[in-house]
Amino acid sequence: MKLQFFYRKFNVLTCRQASQMVSQSLDRELGPIERWRLYVHLRLCQACRNFGNQMAFLRKAARKHPLFSDHDD
């Protein structure tokens, strides 16, 4: 079975959608369906898991760094 076909059939996010959702999830709360679809994709896709870890790491690092911090507290 082709991966593209599998993704469509089971309504799995594409890597592009998943990476967008990962970025969005850092800025806003995802809905339960979005979270589920992202979860399924991340279970299937090592590349996006890595991307998600990097994003979370960068975001955490940036928060601590005054240069990249959004708020001036």
Binding residues vs Zn ion (CB under 5 A) = 15, 18, 45, 48
Q: Of 20 and 69, which CB lies nearer to Zn ion in the complex structure? A: 20
Q: Of 47 and 62, which CB lies nearer to Zn ion in the complex structure? A: 47
Cite the DSSP H helix spans in the chain: 3-9, 15-27, 32-44, 46-64
CA 54 – CA 66 distance, rounded (Å) = 19
Amino acid at 7: Y
Q: Of 18 and 21, which CB lies nearer to Zn ion in the complex structure? A: 18
C-beta of 43: minimal distance to Zn ion in Å? 10
